[in-house]
Amino acid sequence: MEFSIERAALLKAVAQAQSVVERRNTIPILANVLIEAEGDQVSFRATDLDIEIVDQAPAKVSRAGATTVSAVMFHEIVRKLPDGALVTINDDGTSGRMSVDAGRSSFSLATLPREDFPVMASSEYEANFAAPAPVLRRLFDKSKFAISTEETRYYLNGVYMHVSDYEGSQVLRCVATDGHRLARIDAELPEGAGSMPGVIVPRKTVGELRKLLDDDEAQIAVSVSETKVRFATPGITLTSKVIDGTFPDYTRVIPSGNTKRLEVDASEFAQAVDRVATVSSERSRAVKLALDEDRLVLSVNAPDSGAAEEELAVAYPDEPLEIGFNAKYLLEIASQVDRENAVFLFNSSGDPTLMREGSDESAVYVVMPMRV
Amino acid sequence: MDCDAFYASVEKRDDPSLRDKPVVIGGGRRGVVSTACYIARIRGVRSAMPMFQALKLCPDAVVVRGRMDAYVEVSRQIRAIMDDLTPVVEPLSLDEAFMDLTGTERLHHAPPAVMLAGLVKRMEDELGISGSIGLSHNKFLAKVASDLDKPRGFSVIGKAETADFLREKPVRLIWGVGAQAQISLDKAGIRTFSDLLRWDKRDLMARFGGMGERLYHLARGEDRRRVSSRTPVKSISNETTFNEDTSDPDILDGHIWRLAENVADRAKAKDKAGRTVTLKLKRANHSILTRQSQLAEATQIADRIYRTARLLFDQVSDQGPFRLIGIGISHLDMADANEAGGDLLDPQARVRADAERASDKIRERFGADAIMKGRALR
């Protein structure tokens, strides 16, 4: 195998691939990236056995072939090469070494045979559809903060992507929860997605997927089966197993009868929460919201470190209410609001609270109060 | 200060009929000896020895299941006496503690040796428990000294005689040099402290890593560790060895609950809550399996610890049989205000936590057995 490639294109492809590779590995081949050169394309493939990513980059291939080298080391080398360099990769297939040459730098990397590299089996997908990158970005960006990290609740360690009904029409919906907060984000159902089975997309996949979604113009080809999900742009294909479990019935968690309505400027609110939370040494401490006619007083009382209070002018027409929340959770949901005011709907100080942006119900958040 | 056969002494004090009998503290036929009284020790019984072996050596031994609460109580009383000597007391276990007596001479108008003699006398007079004293200029030597003429020992290693004292002593004297370390020291030809003195620091570090540097200093009787009265607790755990290996899920479930409750009780007493729950299982062949789970919020609630441990247990593919099970919490945090958050997906969790707090109050008032869960009886 021999090819030449521009450093910037190589770096982008290798960076993407190496991030999938697990840092601590007991199987040596999984630390490697599979490089395949053919035609005028080179592909870089990496896997942790649950996720597989394939990046393609244009290159001048003088001899087709394939080999594998340490993904992290290869990435480090390419990263440190000068911008604009032309990189020549050569593997004679017999020496067990792959050479990397650029200008006056030259490296020789140990290889492992390509036959040992586990390529994810291809499978049949029940639904194939295209979604604009900004739509997927919104669905996952706004829900991923609520993904649980509790290993025992493995079925919550991802975003539940499925087709659901909203007011008579079908929507593409992403839901994540860790039992303390929940995010439910809807988008218009793309054509061809109706037959899609509901899948739990693992946290790591959500993180890797994000890197495919930066380009506003890109159309992402999405394929979904009961066991796998695939996202593809013209250059990158990300395939992932989905979490084998049942996502709990989240609909009964979303309160529908909350009537006490608070409307507040989201960024003012977030800043105030952040300020008063400073006095609590632990981020897990409670912020108390005391609501009275058009007045909100935020306070934190941490016995061993201090106390803080801040008043905000808000729209709140209902009877007085005192309710406490984990400051971190409040900040996280408040920071999801980007266009309109944040609207909170309360029931009592012990019941889940609902938050949405203005009257837009395509993104709703639920947060469990704390006792204060 | 190191108590003499502490658990056994407490048992003998509380039951005078045991006085002249060999007494061994430990759990069941499968357990190990946690303490042997001096009569049993004459027959060769040692702590950490398997119980069946102890009974072979000493068939007439009276085996007493430990009464931990009684020992904790006595330990607390001893601690109170030690607190009269110095504010800097660092407990190593229930029956052993370092005290820093630096600068207390002017306070007590008596040198440390006199005060320490007074300490063990008070322990015997007031509590009926004897202890041994090791007095020296650092922790390593004080610990060594306390073991020199047990029971009811009193040894002093002064600065001037430190080098002479250590010279021909075996290196296994060093706390932390176990069988494994001793083998590697042996290979390097190091048996005594004088062997150690011949090595320079760099070589010791190259050969033994971090321990090498410690060895270098200990060989010279140097130990700069401070006596610290505030060693933070890093984890709280409890484990139990079964009388017979078991794979019965009902029996194991009962153990998981009891262990979770014990861990929760101790966490509550210390005002701590843990963010990580660990399950430990020992298979019949003694190999160990551990699983842990992070929680979104730290907990001290037995119900939460139990449920997490139970899920971990259910996710273990090994069917057993097991000879030991243990539960622990770590990544500890102060408990206040924690746990106040409810669980959206498990609305009953808060109710169960409230019920647990309520039964804690009942147990506090009417005793540990006043109210318990049915599954504790499994």
The residue-averaged pLDDT of B16-37 equals: 85
Whether B338 and A284 lie within 8 Å, measured CB to CB: yes
- The pLDDT assigned to A132 comes to 95
User: Residue A31: is its pLDDT beyond 60?
Assistant: yes
pLDDT of residue A352: 93
Assess contact for A296 and A265: CB atoms under 8 A.
no
Can you tell me the distance from the alpha carbon of B116 to that of B93, in angstroms, rounded to the nearest whole number? Answer: 19
Q: How far is CA B262 from CA A296, B196, B268, B329, B361, in A?
A: 43, 45, 10, 11, 15
Percent of chain A at pLDDT exceeding 70: 99
Average pLDDT value for residue range B207-227: 86
Instruction: Measure the CA–CA gap between B96 and B47, rounded to whole angstroms.
Output: 15
Distance CA A99, CA B186 (A): 47
Q: Has residue B50 been placed in a domain?
A: yes
Same domain, B29 and B54: yes
What distance lies between CA A215 and its chain's CA centroid?
A: 16
Task: Give residue A316's pLDDT.
Answer: 95
What single-letter amino acid sits at A39? G
- Determine, yes or no, domain membership for B337: yes
Whichever domain contains B203, its CATH number is: 1.10.150.20
Specify if B105 maps to a domain. Answer: no
> Would you say residue B310 lies in a domain?
yes
Return the higher-pLDDT residue of B286 and B328.
B328
Query: Is residue A311 less than 8 Å (CB to CB) from chain B?
Result: no
Last residue of a domain, one of B20, B51, B68: B68
Residues B294, A366: C-beta atoms closer than 8 Å: no
Q: Do residues B215 and B240 share a domain?
A: no
Tokens of B312: 């971990």
The predicted structure's pLDDT at residue B338 = 44
What pLDDT was estimated at residue A242? 96
CB-based burial label for A12 (10 Å; 0-12, 13-18, 19+): middle
In chain B, the number of structural domains is: 3
Partners of residue A326 in chain B, C-beta under 8 Å? 341
Closest CA to B340 of B300, B368, B311: B300
pLDDT reported for residue B174:
82
Could you tell me the two tokens for A49? 């056995």
Gap between the Cα atoms of A136 and A212, Å rounded: 10
pLDDT over 60 (residue A163): yes
Question: What are the pLDDT digits (tens) for B244-266?
Answer: 899 998 889 999 999 999 999 88
Alpha helices in B220-293 (DSSP H): 249-270
Residue A281: per-residue pLDDT: 63
> What distances in angstroms separate CA B217 from CA A77, B161, B230, B289, one per listed residue?
44, 16, 25, 37
Q: Kindly state the DSSP code that residue B231 receives in the 8-state scheme.
A: P
A202-222 residue pLDDT tens: 999 999 999 899 888 899 999
Neighbours of B313 (CB within 10 A): 19
Its domain, for residue B203, covers 162-219
Q: Are residues B174 and B253 in the same domain?
A: no
What kind and span of H or E run contains B298?
strand B288-299
Same domain, B185 and B295: no
All domains of chain A in start order, with CATH: 2-116 (3.10.150.10), 127-252 (3.10.150.10), 260-367 (3.10.150.10)
Look at residue B231 in the predicted model and tell me its pLDDT. Answer: 64
List Cα–Cα distances, B273 to A69, B233, B276, B331, B337, in angstroms: 45, 11, 9, 8, 10
Distance from CA of A33 to the nearest CA of B (A): 31
Do residues B339 and B207 share a domain? no
Segment A106-155, tens digit of pLDDT: 999 999 999 999 988 888 899 999 999 999 999 999 999 999 988 888 99
Q: Is the pLDDT of residue A174 over 60?
A: yes
Q: Is A364 on the interface with B (CB under 8 A)?
A: no
Answer yes or no: pTM beyond 0.80: no
Question: pLDDT at position B28, please?
Answer: 63
Residue A168 to residues A171, A253, B348: CA-CA distances in angstroms? 10, 21, 33
User: Quick one: B259 and B369 in the same domain?
Assistant: yes
Percentage of the residues of chain B whose pLDDT score is greater than 70: 97
> For position A26, what pLDDT does the model report?
82
Q: Are B270 and B233 in contact (CB under 8 A)?
A: yes
Name the least confident of A271-285, A288-302, B342-356. Answer: A271-285
Tell me if chain B has a CB within 8 Å of the CB of A358.
Answer: no
- Taking the CA of residue A352 and the nearest CA in chain B, the distance in Å comes to 7
The 10 Å Cβ neighbour count of residue A282 is: 18
The closest CB to that of B293, out of A152, A326, A372, belongs to A152
- Is B11 annotated in the active site? no
Residue B124 carries which DSSP code? Answer: I
Q: Are A284 and B338 in contact (CB under 8 A)?
A: yes
Whether B229 has a pLDDT exceeding 80, the answer reads no
Q: Is residue B378 over pLDDT 80?
A: no
Q: Which two tokens stand for residue B201?
A: 């620091």
| DSSP symbols for B33-46 | EEEE-HHHHHTT--
Query: Using CB atoms within 10 A of its CB, is residue B338 exposed (0-12), middle (13-18) or buried (19+)?
Result: buried
At B47 the three-state DSSP class reads coil
Round to whole Å and give the CA distance between B130 and B135. 16
* A114–chain B Cβ distance below 8 A for any pair: no
Model confidence at A296, in pLDDT bands (50, 70, 90)?
very high
Q: Rounded distance, CA A186 to CA A184, Å?
A: 7
Q: A166 pLDDT exceeds 80? A: yes
Match 């984000």 to its residue by tokens: A185
Q: What is the CATH number for B258?
A: 3.30.1490.100
On whether the CB atoms of residues B81 and B123 are closer than 8 A, the answer is yes
* Contact A254/B at CB under 8 A: no
User: What average pLDDT does chain B have?
Assistant: 88
Collect all residues of chain A within an 8 Å Cβ-Cβ radius of residue B293.
Answer: 150-152
CB contacts of B294 in chain A (<8 Å) are 149-151
pLDDT of residue A282: 62
Tokens coding B175: 């706390």
Please report whether residue B319 resides in a domain: yes
pLDDT tens, residue by residue, A83-92? 989 999 999 8
Give me the residue label for tokens 């113009």.
Answer: A217
The label of the residue with tokens 């607190």 reads B83
pLDDT at B368: 77
How does strand A65-70 pair with strand A32-38? antiparallel
Burial profile B112-138: b = 16 or more Cβ within 10 angstroms, e = fewer: beebbeebbeebeeebebbbbbbbbbb
Contacts of A286 in chain B (CB under 8 A): 337, 340
Q: Is the peptide bond before B151 cis (omega within 30 degrees of 0)?
A: yes
**Residue B108 counted as domain residue:** no
> Among A155-169, A202-216, A272-286, B49-63, which is the least confidently predicted range?
A272-286
Q: What is the mean pLDDT of chain A?
A: 92
Q: Are residues B288 and B334 in the same domain?
A: yes
Question: Under 8 Å CB-to-CB from A292, ≥6 apart: which residues?
Answer: A316, A320
| Residues in chain A within 8 Å Cβ distance of B292 | 151
Are residue B193 and residue B277 in the same domain, yes or no? no
Cα(A39)–Cα(A62) distance, integer angstroms: 9
Among candidate residues B43, B68, B93, the one where a domain is terminated: B68
Q: What is the predicted ipTM?
A: 0.74
- Give the pairing type, strands A360-367 and A181-188: antiparallel
Task: Give the pLDDT confidence score for residue B100 in this predicted structure.
Answer: 94
Residues in contact with B271: Cβ distance below 8 Å, sequence separation at least 6, in sequence order: B334, B335, B336
CA distance B237 to chain A (A): 19
Q: Which residue has the higher pLDDT, B271 or A211?
A: A211
CATH of the domain at B59: 3.40.1170.60
Kindly state whether residue B137 falls inside one of the protein's structural domains.
no
Same domain (yes/no): B270, B372: yes
| B226's tokens | 């401070």
pLDDT band at B135 (very low <50, low <70, confident <90, very high): very high
Shared domain for B269 and B314, answered yes or no, is yes
The answer to whether residue B126 is domain-embedded is no
Q: Could you tell me if B304 and B243 lie in one domain?
A: yes
Residues B249 and B206 occupy one common structural domain: no
From B12, B43, B68, the end of a domain falls on B68
B67 pLDDT higher than 80: yes
Q: Can you spell out the DSSP letters for B302-317?
A: HHHHHHHHHHHHHT--
